[in-house]
Structure 1
Amino acid sequence: MRGRPTIFNEEELLRKAQIVFWEKGFTPTSLEDLLEAMQIGSGSFYNTFKGGKKELFSKALQLRRNDLKNFKEQLIQSDSPLDVLKDFFRSLAETEPHSHLMGCLVVNTIIEMTFVDTKFQQEALVILREMEQIYIWAIDKAQKEGKIINRTSPEILGRYLVTFWSGLNVIRRMYPDKKILAAQIEMQLSILS
C-alpha cells in the first residue's frame, strides 16, 4: 500500500526555502533547516526536488528572476518607469530591520559562489545582468523624454544602479535605520536628475 499523497504548493515551498537560503546562504543551510522551514519530511523533499538542495537553491534563485520579470512588466506598463524605479529604491528604506540584514539573495549568491560554484554564480549573474538591462531601458526612455538631464550613457548609468544596488545591500546591514537609508538613497538617486 502506498503512503498518503503529498499535496502542497511547490511555489510556497520554494518561497519558504528561499528565505532560509537568503538568511544563511547556500553552504551553511542544512537539509534540516530546509525541512523545518518548508514543514515537510525528507521523503517528500526528495520526491519533489530530486536534485536535492542544489535543485531547490536553483529554483529559489529563479523565483527572484520571476519577481524581476514582474517588476519589468510594471515598468513597461507605467507612464513613468523612472519614477517606479526610484520608488522601488526608496521603498527599501522603509522595510523592516530583518530585511535589511538579509540583503539581496542574488548579490549574496554572487559573493558566496565566486570560486565555489560556477553554475550558481552564473545563474545569479544572469539575473543581475537582466536587472541592469531593465535599468538601462528605463534610463534610456527617461532621457529620450527629457526626464533626466544627465546625458551619461544609459549603459553607464545602468551599471551605476547595479553598483548602487549591490552597495546598498551592504549598507543596509551596516545601518538598518530608515532615516539614514532614506538620505543615502536620495543622494544616490540624484544622479538620475
Structure 2
Amino acid sequence: MARPREFDEHEALTAARDAFWRDGFAATSVQDLTEATGLGTQSLYGAFGSKHDLFLRILDEYGARQATGLESAVTADPSPWHGLKAAVTFEDGGRLDLPEQGCLMANSAAALSTQDDEVRARACAAYTRTLALFTQQITEAQERGEIDRDLDPEQTARALIAVMQGIEFLHKSGIGDDEFGRTKDAVLHMLERAVARPDGR
C-alpha cells in the first residue's frame, strides 16, 4: 500500500510556480525548486516527475485558471462590449494583479515556444480559447447593437487580443502608473472610435 504524501501538493505547486514565474524555466534549478517547496530532490521527482514535467503541470493549471478568470471578467458586465473593453484594458476589478514580470504563460511562450513544442502547444491553446471568447462576445455586442455590425467578429477579436497583450507588456515595462493610465485612456478612446457605434448600426 502506497504511503500518503506528507506535504500539501497545492502549496508545493504554488511555490514552484512562483519560482518559475520569478526566474523563468531555464534559470530555475532543481535546487531552487527544492528550496522553494521544502521537498527533497527525490520527493520532488517522485511527486511531479522531471523539472519539465512539473513546469508543464504548472502551465496547465495556470492556463486553466487564467481562462476562467478572463471569462468571468468579460462576462461580468451585462453589456458584452463594456465587459470586453474592461477585460482588454484590465479595468475589470483586479485581473491585472500580476507581478512585475507579467503573465507566466506569455513569458513562457516568448522564452520557450521556438524550442519546446509542449510549451508552444499550451500557449496556442490559451490563444485559441481567448480568441473564441472574444469572438463570441463581439458577436453578442453586434446583436445588441452596441458595436458596428459590419465588423468581422473574429478579425476584431484578434486585434483586441493584440491590444490586450500590448497593455500587459507596458504594465511590466516600468513606464509608471501615470503613463500607464494615459495609455489605457488612449486605447479606450481608439476602441470607441473604431468599433463602437452609438447609433447602433
Report the TM-score range of the alignment, normalised by the length of the smaller protein.
0.7 to 0.9
TM-score by length of 1: 0.81
Give, in whole Å, the separation in 2 of the partners of 1:40 and 1:151: 57
User: Is the alpha carbon distance of 1:148 and 1:38 closer, same or farther for their aligned partners in structure 2, counting shifts above 3 Å?
Assistant: farther
For residues 51-97 of structure 1, the C-alpha deviation after alignment (integer angstroms, 9 at most, x for no partner) is x111111111112221134235524565334433333333489757x
Deviations 1:110-162 (A, max 9, x none): 21113211221121121122112111111111121112247421111211122
CA distance in 2, matches of 1:69, 1:174: 24
Q: Aligned Cα RMSD in Å?
A: 2.8
- Whose radius of gyration is greater, 1 or 2? 2
Residue 36 (structure 1) shift: 2.0
Higher relative contact order (Cα pairs below 8 Å, separated by 6+ residues)? 1
Cα deviations by residue, 1:2-26 (Å, 9 ceiling, x for unpaired):
9x85333323322222222222221
| Cα displacement string for residues 143-187 of structure 1 (whole angstroms, at most 9, x for unaligned residues) | 211122474211112111221232223222323522222221232
Return the offset for 1:30.
Answer: 0.9
1:90/1:182 contact within 8 Å kept: no
| Equivalent pair of 2:75/2:83 in contact (CA under 8 Å) | no
Partner of 2:24: 25
Residue 79 of structure 1: aligned partner: 78
CA contact (8 A) 1:78 1:84 kept: yes
Tell me if structure 2 keeps the 8 A contact 1:113–1:121: yes
Runs of 4+ in 1 over 6 A off after TM superposition: none
The structure-2 alpha-carbon separation of the partners of 1:185 and 1:77, relative to structure 1 and needing over 3 Å to count, comes to closer
Alignment of 1:18-57 (within 5 A): 18-50=17-49, 52-57=50-55
- Percent of aligned pairs sharing the same letter: 25
Stretch deviating more after TM superposition (27-36 or 147-156): 147-156
Gap runs ≥5 in structure 2: 197-201
Name the counterpart of 2:90.
Answer: 90
- Taking the aligned partners of 1:110 and 1:158, their CA distance within structure 2 comes to 20
Aligned to 2:64: 66
- Which letter maps to 1:60? I
The count of aligned residue pairs is: 188
The 1-side partners of 2:170 and 2:51 are apart by: 30
Change (3 A) 1:32 1:159: same
After superposition, the Cα gap between the structure-2 partners of 1:103 and 1:151, relative to the gap in structure 1 and judged at 3 Å, is: farther
Q: Where is the helix percentage greater, Structure 1 or Structure 2?
A: 1
